[in-house]
Structure 1
Amino acid sequence: MAEELIQQLKENEKGYIDDIYKNHSHQQIENTTLQQLKGFLADKSDELKQAVYDNYQEFLAITRRLEEIEQDFMTIHTQFNAIGTELDELNQHYATEMREQQSKLDKLITERSSFLNISNSLNSENNDMTSKIPQLRNDIKYILDAPSLLQVYLSQWNFDECIKIHDNVRNLLNKNNDLKNVLKGHVALDQFEEMIDHIVDKLKKRLFDLSLSSRQTVVIINHLKKVTNEEKAMLIFLDARTKTAKERIERELHSENLSLVTQNVCSFAFPLIKSTHSVFITSFPVAPTSCFASWNISLINFVMNSLEKKIANKEVKQNSIKVDCVDKIITLYDIVPQELSLVFIVRKYLSNIVRSLSKSKDEIDPKMIQKLTSHGFGFPF
């Protein structure tokens, strides 16, 4: 009702007043209409106050946010200024260091000049020291920087770059006697050799990873050949394969399930012989075949000796389990190519296992007895 009255006042104030006094008594206007208007105005006044308060709070929030933004901007500005100052200081520092390094190189060359194969006559056509020094300085700087560069690339496992630096330094030293004489006894050469030792150690560790493909393994071996020599790289490779194989086999032997042990050991060791031979002939094409043959004999003796001790153990009473293990070994060894086969060694250990059988054949499958007999094994019953 009050809102309708307000609307009428807005539209026709005079007409409304005339109408209300014409149709209502003074008492009615006083008691009803005015009270409604007062209540309405009071409500609107409260709403207005709340709106003003809300707007003021929002204004304060915006003001605070603007202050924060301004503060953030000032902080960023301060930080940028600090960074700019630090960069200026770094530039000055490295410029100073570069000048000092340049001075040291020049001094080093001057001090070692007596060792150089250069005539004292700077005008000599064949021995012009002035023309040699700039390149000599660049080569020396490269060699002095080599240890730190190797450290960076080695931390990234970037062997390709490490080998490049190694080859470059070796070539510089081998081809330039002047350079070798200038750097003779310098600590940078010792640091370089130390980093090469670290590279060799990391390459060794990579060879213990049997998840690498044959191609990846060959790449690692080629790196090793460059930083050591072919013979040493070959010994490192075969030694890594031996240690990895023994560790894996010894873990498998902890299981009490003989059939599972036999399956796992043979499924790992026999294919390893084949893959190792493939990598060997690719990486060391001129190496004597006796090198791989010795490794092969050593590994197969370790594998079969470990299995014999596990299977022929007196505590194992079940003939059927032992015979099953023998059959698995015969079957799985077929994966080894004929030219790598050491079946005579395998048969020696298998014969020992067969001899450990009890004198009862009741629990053994007759077909299995027939199969092993056809392979030349004699049974104690």
Structure 2
Amino acid sequence: MILGFLRFSSVLRRITRKRHGVGKLMESVEENSSTNLADMPPVERTSETSHLVPPNSTSPPSYLNLASNLCALLFISIIIYCCFGDGVSLFSFHPSLMSLGWLMIMTSAINAITPGDLATEWMPIRLRSARHWVLQLLAVTIITIGFIVILSNKIINNKPHFVTLHAKFGLASLIFMSLTSLGDELSASVQKLPQPWLLMYADVIALVDGDKGRLTRRVHAWREALENGGLKLNVAKTEYMVCNNTDLTSLRIGDDTVERTDNFRYLGSVLDASGDIDRDIKARISAAWAKWREVTVVICDPKMPVKLKGQVYKTIIRPVLTYGSEAWPVLERHRQLLHVTEMNILRWMCGVTRKDHVWNTYIRGSLHILDIANKL
């Protein structure tokens, strides 16, 4: 019960602090809506918390952890008094050891990695992690001793073992906790050892050559290198593209034939055999609209400052629309297509239609966004 109270208090404290942190962040956004995002106070993610906090800040002390420890200590004292008040027996050590291991030491182990704990807030993260593992192993040891005590008591008194639900639940809890503690400790120890193997994995690789014969030899050499490393070339997902129409033959890798294609996607860009970028631009436009739909609740909110909408667009949507544009041989029709797409997105963001007769220059000026054609 006390352990459950501790976990509930820890979750409640994290939720409260998370809402408080998000509230501060939103207030900062509203106050700086008339300035650039670069002028806003920086935030960072810490390894100890799951919410945004200002840099160099410390977690406020949590008195719930202290209260839970005091309640656990009081509860253990009552159990020890009841067990040893009328005399000492072998069974008297079982409730005492179990209560001490579960309620006191295991609770302290959980508090060691809980933000805001008074006893460990001043410690660095590595020291707090070491304290957590030491206390957890100590709790497992004490609980195991308590389990051996009750098992010995049943053997001495010739009583059946693991018949009641209490006994079965206690055994399952002990096994689960022991495997969890020892498994995490073993995993951390194995990661520190030198790795006796080398794993090579190739996700997407492109081989380019001006001669088909040399390309075939390079593919065979690549396939042999993969097989020597324990990997296998997936011929079904391998494609072959020729940038001229003179060679219509297919490419063979051993007994397998590589599928020939007129275009394929490589590292997010669509390459065409003709050298045109029409397919790539259409793919970029589709990706930009998909990204716009992900943030439409934010950037289409009429309560959001217009300038901040422009900052969000330039940070999230425009990079998707212009991805790979450094290598584009752009023509005027491509510039016009991207210009129309961007203006449609900006008008949706501002809630303006063509029937409102609002000029594009006014929309761009309000959002502080230059024409995308000037970025190509």
TM-score, structure 2 normalization: 0.27
TM-score, structure 1 normalization: 0.27
Return the structure number with greater strand share. 2
Q: Which has the larger radius of gyration?
A: 1
Return the structure number with greater helix share. 1
